[in-house]
Structure formats: C-alpha cells, structure tokens
Structure 1
Amino acid sequence: MTIAKRELSSLGREKTIVLALVLQLFIAAFSSFLVVGLVSLYDPGQVGGYEVDVAVAGDATDELVRAADEVRGVDPSVYPDAASATSAFENPAATGIDAVLIGERRDGRLFVSASVPDSNVQTTVVVVQLRDVLRNLERAERLDRAASLSTLPIDLPPETRSSPYYGFTYTVLVPLLLFLPVFISGSLTVDSLTEERERGTLELLRVAPVTLREIVDGKLLAAATLAPAQAVLWLVLLGFNGTDVASPATLVVLVAALSTLVCSLAAAVALLAPERRTAQFLYSIGVLFVFGGTTLFPHNPVNTAARLAIGSADAAAPFVVLAYAVGAAGVYVAVRYLVGDVDANEL
C-alpha cells in the first residue's frame, strides 16, 4: 500500500498524465456538445440549419426528387434538361445550387451522375447528403424491380430511423471514455517499472523490508485502480450531460478486469524488456494486436460495453464480463510467478 500511494502521488508531477486526465475530463464533462459537433462531421443533415440545394434533371427526375425528399437538409429543384441544371450549378451565387443529379435510363438501367463543389469544406457536407439520396434511390428501384427479376436477391434489411447521436454516444463515446484509461494505466505500469530499473532505484526499494513481488503488486495496484476510478467519474459526468447508462456497476467491473489484465501484461513486458523504449513499443504493439483481435468476436469489449450501456445486453453479457475477470486474475497470477523467477541480481 505504501508503494501504491507513492506511485499515485508521483502521477501529479507527470505533465503528460495530467494532460491526458484533463482531456478525458473535458470529453466527459462536455460530451453533449462534442457529440453534436462530431456527428455533424459524418451526418450533417442531422444537425439542421444547413440546406443543400440540388438541381435535378434527366429521365428519372421524379425518382430522384422522391429520394431527395426523404433526406433531411436536401432541397431538390427540377430543371428541364442537363444543360440548364449544369449551368445553374456553375453559377451558385445567382441560383444557390450546391450540386447536380442527372438521371438517365439506358438499356433498362438507371444511371445517375452527380456533380459537387470542388475542393472546399462544403464538398464534404454535399457528398454526405447526396450519398443518402442515392441510397434511397437504390432502395426504391430495387423494390420496384423485384417482381420482374428471375432470381430474387437477398432481402433488404429493414429501414431504420435511429438517431446518429444515440449510436455515436453509446458505440464511440462511452467505450472511448471507458477503455482509454485502461491503456494509459498499462503504459504507466511499463514506465514505472522500467524507470526504476534504468535509474537503479529498484535496488533502493529492495533495501526496505518488502519483496520484489510486493513492489510489483504495489505498482500494479496504483495503475490498475486508476482506470475504474476514472470510469466511475466519467459515467457520473455523462449522466449529468443526459446520457443514461443502463448497467454502470457491470461496466465498472468490466473496466477493472481489463485494467488488471492490461497492467499485468504491461508488468510482464517491463520485467522481460529492461529498456524503456523497447518495453513501450512491445506493450503498444501487443495491446493493438490483442485488442484488435478481440473485435473479431461478437462479445468483444467494445460491443459488450456498448450493449451494457444501452441496456440491450443479452443473457451472455454477465458471463462475458466474468470471463474477462477470470482471465485477468489468471494473468495476474502468472505475472506473480514470473516475478518470482526473475533473478534479483539482474534488476
């Protein structure tokens, strides 16, 4: 406990760690504002206040207008031919046209050409809006032509009208705030052990009446408890911002299990790789491979955290969290055995 308190007190003097904590605090405290800004980057129509005026022409004018009317923030204007629509697009100051959609039917197929502004910020907004228009057109055409097809394609998934704010908050923001402290805690463990070895201060610690295992345990305790403590604070701040989390206790247990697992692996890397840069590199690569590999499974940490936060977790979710806890305990025990096998003279 003395070593753990010493580690925690030293964190306040680490500017990088303090800045990381401040950044996470800002994200959690002002999450409602950040969600609006970040969602507007990939779904501008949901923000409101900006209209994309589209010139529509060609043989499929009616179909394009119907598809555009279903997209929020898109205002279609019908032109008699492609030349007049293009001319209006080339003179936006007078016409206010932001893009052009020209639909033509050839050989029983519908071809649509789109023109958007070149190389400016407006281009991103226009492209995203036109993408939604073309998706609606494709869905409508597919449904209309299904009866004339000799072979029916795969059924379209049901059309959803969910809010992008809802999906972004629970699939991006909440996992980010929960798992970022876990990775930082692992990095702290690597730095703490490698610095003690490089500076020779680990030998001074061993003069005290503590064993090497107790030294490692103290450092793991300080680093592994930091992540769940932050998770509790972030969830409270999210609640103040109107983001309700369905299973906060289970999420904190999940974070604690992953923090123990990652910090134990980080301690093993630091014991086996005495040089700080090498240890940090191995830790970073290992975390990327391990965490990236888990995304291949349906019950990966991000998916489990998102479903627990939303309240749509199935009956297997508690067992998944328990499995992570058991795995973390197993890795911790293995690291303690590794510490016992390390020759004190090499440290």
Structure 2
Amino acid sequence: MADREDTVGSDRPAPQPGASGGKRRDPRITIAGREFDSLRREKTILLALALQLFIAAFSSFLVVGLVSLYDPGGVEGYEVDVAVTGDAAEELIRASREVRGVDARFYRSEETAMRAFHEYRATGVDAVLVAETRDERVFLRAVAPDSNVQTTVVVVQLRDVVRSFERAERTDRAAYLDSLPLELPPEAASSPYFGFTYTVLLPLLLFLPVFISGSVAVDSLTEEIDRGTLELLRVAPVSLIDVVDGKLLAAAGLAPLQAALWIGLLELNGTSVANVPPLLALVAALALLICGLGAALALLTPERRAAQFLYSIGVLFVFGGTALLPNGPINAAARLAIGSGGTAEYLSVAAVVVGSVVVYGGLRRLVGRLDADDLA
C-alpha cells in the first residue's frame, strides 16, 4: 500500500479541553478519524472499494454472465453439440437427454466424430464422447476444445452428461449385483442464479471487506513502527493501547459499513437478503477478530513485508478451515441470507463473536506488556 501522509504519532498534541463541556475528546476517536482521512488518500483501498461497489451495484447484470460459467446449463438459449460414438453410445445419448442445454448426436465411428469436431465451423460439434464396453464395464473418453471460456462451458456440460449416465447405469445394473448399492439422493432442481447469488456473490461482498480491513490494520501499525513515530508517544497524552484501539476502530469498523451498503445495493437490484442484523454482527465480529490478529502480528513482527506475509497465510488457514465446516461463517451467512438459518447458524455467529472478544482481550494484554520505546 502507498505510504500515508498522516500518521498517529505526529508532534501535534492531542486536543485540549475546550469550551464544549470542559472534556478532552477521546484520543481513540481522534486516531480513528485520522485513519479514515488517510484511507481516503490510499489509491489501493479506493480501487478495492470501487470494485466492490461495482459488483454490488450491478449484481443482477453480472450474475447472468457469471452463471454462464458457474452453471452453463442454467442459461437459456445456450446449447452444446456433442458427437457420441461407441458401442454404448445409445445409452449415453439417452442419458444426455436428461441434461439441459446438450444436444447429443450419434456417429458411426470415432474417426467421423473427430473429423466433425475438427470441422467445427461446418458441423457445429463442440465436443466428442466415446463410450466403449470392455470387460462388462463402460469406459468413457471425452474430447473438449482447447480454448478458454468455451472449454469451461463444454467441460461442465460433459460432466453433467457423465453424471446422468452413471446414475442410469447404477439403476439398470442394480439387479445383477450381489449386494445393492446405496441409493443415490434425488437430484435437486434449483435455479443456478439463486445458488450463485447466495453462495458465491453474497459471501464475497460480505467477507472481502474483512480481508481488506485486516490488511489495513497490519499496514497501519507497521508503518508507524517503521517511521519511528511511536517514540513521540512518550511525550504525547496518548497510550499505546489508545493507538491500537483507534486503528482497530477505523479498520474493523469499515467492514460492517461496507457490508451494510452492499446489502442495500443488492436489495435495489432485486436480491432480497434476510436476517441483516445477524449478518452485520457476523461481519463486525469477524473483522474485529481478523484485525486483532493482524495488529498482534504487526506488533510482534514490525517489518511490513513479513507481517503482511504472515497475515495472508494466517487468513488463508482461518478461512480455509472454516469453509470446510458445515456451519462455518460462509455457510452460515448464505443460510441466514436466504432466511433458512437455524440454531446452528446463530451458534456459528455467536462463536465468531466470542472468538473476536477473546482475540481482542489477548491483544490488549499483549499491548500492555509492550513499551512504545521498544517498538521504535
């Protein structure tokens, strides 16, 4: 991030008691205000905010294009032409009829199918599926175009065809097995737009500000240490705890404000979001937790690059681990947003709140043991 022009450890004294009630302003509020002023001059932060603003403001427009990659079969009017050959081609074509957006055609040999595939402009064949029976087993081989976006779309459609074929084969061959396999769960019929919006787009808008806030907290403290401005705390009426609290207030407070704005923009775009207060509480608690960990790393590892590297690794482990939990923050946010949150989701929010309080308490104990003169 760009260097800040405004730092906490300036040689200007803190506001003195004035006429307004004879009370000095809380130094943490003053520090937080200066942090917000400095963030307005950070081009990296402003660019990240602009990107999130664009995603939230034009979410309904972006979802249509993104869903074409996330689930091409859910996009109306898009069709993949597949050349099918082999002795099990008939069963494969029958299975492909269960997949929306796929048109499978039979070819007598693999050579003719591959020729049609290479002559795409004339034949319109997007991919080839070869189904051969060997030792009472069906072996499938797929050929997809070697490109970027088109490959992604075609591969996703071929995957659905193979899944449909496997499901049909399990059903047809169950009578010949010594023991019956487990019954496959029924296929869920849901809108891909609904799934993408609440499982990908909404968590992205809620948790991306948390990552940015943590990075801001790390960068802000390491910059103060690098510049040596914490030495001035010895003569200024501001303690190290006040400095850390003020910076946490600015960094962690930015995330729920952004989340509230993004939810409002989603509502304007026709995406209804339920349980907004619990969602904002989740974002605020997670921001405090991540920013607290980042501030601790900055104090223990004053070198900026090392602190940012450790912060990035730590965030990957934290979110990577919680993403695997059935009721982790990401799944809890999605379920709360669609109005299907239960006791487990609210317990997940409560666990994050408790974790943030524990991390903040540990950070205050760490700051209490450190002396500003040792950090400079």
Please say whether Structure 1 and Structure 2 have the same fold, judged by a TM-score greater than 0.5. Answer: yes
Does the CA-based 8 Å contact 2:231-2:373 persist in structure 1?
A: no
The answer to whether the aligner puts 1:318 opposite 2:360 as a matched pair is no
For structure 1, which segment, 96-105 or 222-231, has the greater mean C-alpha deviation from structure 2 after superposition? 96-105
1:127, distance to aligned residue in structure 2 (A): 2.4
The answer to whether the aligner puts 1:209 opposite 2:237 as a matched pair is yes
Does the CA-based 8 Å contact 2:233-2:372 persist in structure 1?
A: no
TM-score, with structure 1 as normaliser: 0.93
* Letter of the structure 2 residue corresponding to residue 75 of structure 1: D
The answer to whether the aligner puts 1:40 opposite 2:68 as a matched pair is yes
Does the CA-based 8 Å contact 1:4-1:222 persist in structure 2?
A: yes
Residue deviations 1:171-199, cap 9 Å, x none? 11111111111111111111111111211
Separation (CA, whole Å) in 1 of partners of 2:313 and 2:351:
23
| Aligned partner (choices 54, 57, 76) of residue 26 of structure 1 | 54
1:111 corresponding residue in structure 2: 139
* Letter of the structure 2 residue corresponding to residue 176 of structure 1: L
* Letter of the structure 1 residue corresponding to residue 355 of structure 2: G
| Aligned partner (choices 283, 296, 301) of residue 273 of structure 1 | 301
1:51 corresponding residue in structure 2: 79
Separation (CA, whole Å) in 1 of partners of 2:170 and 2:288:
51
| Aligned partner (choices 164, 182, 189) of residue 192 of structure 2 | 164
1:189 corresponding residue in structure 2: 217
- Matched-pair identity in %: 69
1:200 corresponding residue in structure 2: 228
1:29, distance to aligned residue in structure 2 (A): 0.9
Separation (CA, whole Å) in 1 of partners of 2:125 and 2:337:
43
1:233, distance to aligned residue in structure 2 (A): 0.4
More helix by share: 1
Does the CA-based 8 Å contact 1:206-1:212 persist in structure 2?
A: no
Q: 1:190 to 1:115 in 2, by over 3 A?
A: closer
1:125 corresponding residue in structure 2: 153
Could you say what secondary structure the match of 1:75 adopts?
Answer: strand
> Unaligned regions of 5+ residues in structure 1, if any?
none
Separation (CA, whole Å) in 2 of partners of 1:115 and 1:236:
45
Separation (CA, whole Å) in 1 of partners of 2:319 and 2:82:
43
* Letter of the structure 1 residue corresponding to residue 286 of structure 2: L
Separation (CA, whole Å) in 2 of partners of 1:289 and 1:112:
37
Q: 1:77 to 1:339 in 2, by over 3 A?
A: same
1:109, distance to aligned residue in structure 2 (A): 2.7
1:118, distance to aligned residue in structure 2 (A): 4.1
Separation (CA, whole Å) in 1 of partners of 2:121 and 2:257:
55
The answer to whether the aligner puts 1:145 opposite 2:173 as a matched pair is yes
Separation (CA, whole Å) in 2 of partners of 1:106 and 1:130:
21
Residue deviations 1:229-282, cap 9 Å, x none? 001001111111222112111000001111111111111111112221222122
Residue deviations 1:103-123, cap 9 Å, x none? 333443333333333456533
The answer to whether the aligner puts 1:282 opposite 2:310 as a matched pair is yes
Could you say what secondary structure the match of 2:343 adopts?
Answer: coil
The answer to whether the aligner puts 1:11 opposite 2:47 as a matched pair is no
Does the CA-based 8 Å contact 2:251-2:291 persist in structure 1?
A: yes
Q: 1:192 to 1:87 in 2, by over 3 A?
A: closer
| Aligned partner (choices 194, 207, 230) of residue 258 of structure 2 | 230
Could you say what secondary structure the match of 1:161 adopts?
Answer: coil
Q: Size of the alignment, in residue pairs? A: 347
Q: 1:135 to 1:215 in 2, by over 3 A?
A: same
Q: 1:183 to 1:113 in 2, by over 3 A?
A: closer
| Aligned partner (choices 93, 97, 105) of residue 125 of structure 2 | 97
Q: 1:92 to 1:325 in 2, by over 3 A?
A: closer
2:99 corresponding residue in structure 1: 71
> Unaligned regions of 5+ residues in structure 2, if any?
1-28
TM-score, with structure 2 as normaliser: 0.86
Q: 1:205 to 1:10 in 2, by over 3 A?
A: farther
Q: 1:152 to 1:211 in 2, by over 3 A?
A: same
Separation (CA, whole Å) in 2 of partners of 1:278 and 1:104:
55
> What is the aligned-residue RMSD (CA, Å)?
2.0
* Letter of the structure 1 residue corresponding to residue 67 of structure 2: V
2:275 corresponding residue in structure 1: 247
Q: 1:91 to 1:156 in 2, by over 3 A?
A: same
